[in-house]
Amino acid sequence: MLRIIFLLSLLFALSNASVQDFCVANLKRAETPAGYPCIRPIHVKVKDFVFSLGTPGNTTNIISAAVTPGFSAQFPGLNGLGLSTARLDLAPKGVIPMHTHPGASEVLFVLDGYITAGFVSSANSVYVQTLKPGQVMVFPQGLLHFQINAGKSAAAAFVTFSSASPGLQILDFALFANSLPTELVSATTFLDPALVKKLKGVLGGTG
Ligand SMILES: *[C@@H]1O[C@H](CO)[C@@H](O)[C@H](O)[C@H]1NC(C)=O
């Protein structure tokens, strides 16, 4: 009898053990490197786990492209799961310039249109393909990659990152959109100083 009571109480204790299934973001609190603090499970609703990326972003800009984030700040149910999402829109001639995400691999799923996408490996091998709707391409963590509209109509894609904080460094901005002196940019990239000055002018760099 005692043994049965012991087993029952153990079972009860285990069923109440607090397995943390999720940590829906409390957006009223500050984000930390580990994400947002959680709201209490009793306050969690299904809408916290649903987010719409159905609306095209505004592509009227220098790259004719838009990235609409679905990160924890927009999509609280993602908090703590090590994932983030985004929508990519490319007008005709639109381009996401060569860039890296230091903290995440990326999966891109083409929704509409044609997108030429590629990445360059550490061994400088190039992997590039024109993708059509329904195709998916993966970009390994940290490698330089790009996407460009390959068709005559608008293109759209959905992307998922293997981290809540993929990070972003855009190559041209790193080289030409800051105050690193032209002579240093030129000396360290082997580019002509006149070209460096021109690109600094276009991208808002100084020096
Ligand atoms: C898109 O962005 C441009 C440039 O910022 C702006 O002039 C235009 O009103 C925006 N269009 C919409 C629909 O928001």
Q: Residues 42-101: pLDDT tens digits?
A: 999 999 999 999 999 999 999 999 999 999 999 999 999 999 999 999 999 999 999 999
End-to-end CA distance of the chain, in Å? 84
Model-wide pTM > 0.75: yes
Q: Give residue 98's pLDDT.
A: 97
CA 6 – ligand 1 centroid, Å? 67
Q: Give residue 82's pLDDT.
A: 95
Give dist(CA 95, CA 92) in Å, integer. 9
CA nearest neighbour of 145 among 163, 123, 128, 158: 128
Pick the CATH number of 13-167 from 3.20.20.100, 3.20.20.140, 2.60.120.10, 3.40.50.300: 2.60.120.10
DSSP string across 74-90: T-GGGTTTT-EEEEEEE
- What ranges do the domains of the chain cover? 13-167, 168-207
**High-pLDDT (> 90) share of the chain, %:** 88
Q: Which of 55, 58, 61 to mutate to test the pocket of ligand 1 (most atoms within 8 A of CB)?
A: 58
Model confidence at 33, pLDDT cuts 50, 70, 90, reads confident
**Mean pLDDT for the stretch of residues 16-43:** 91
**H-type helices in the chain, by residue range?**
2-15, 171-176, 182-189, 193-203
Least confident of 14-18, 36-40, 142-146: 14-18
Ligand 1 and 62: CB distance under 6 A: no
Ligand 1 and 60: CB distance under 6 A: yes
> Which residues, including other chains, have CB under 8 Å from residue 180's CB and lie 6 or more apart?
205, 207
Q: Are 119 and 127 in contact (CB under 8 A)?
A: yes
Q: Give residue 205's pLDDT.
A: 95
Q: Are 72 and 22 in contact (CB under 8 A)?
A: no
> Which comes out higher in pLDDT, residue 34 or 52?
52
Q: Which of 55, 59, 60 to mutate to test the pocket of ligand 1 (most atoms within 8 A of CB)?
A: 60
Dihedral pair phi/psi, residue 150, rounded to 5°: -105, 5
- To the question of whether residue 145 is assigned a binding role by annotation, the answer is yes
Dihedral pair phi/psi, residue 190, rounded to 5°: 65, 15
Least confident of 9-18, 60-69, 74-83, 171-180: 9-18
**How far is CA 143 from each of CA 103, 110, 148, 158, 166, rounded to the nearest angstrom?**
10, 20, 17, 19, 12
**Mean pLDDT for the stretch of residues 182-201:** 97
Q: Give residue 4's pLDDT.
A: 60
* Mean of all residue pLDDT scores within the chain: 93
Q: Are 90 and 130 in contact (CB under 8 A)?
A: no
Model confidence at 16, pLDDT cuts 50, 70, 90, reads low
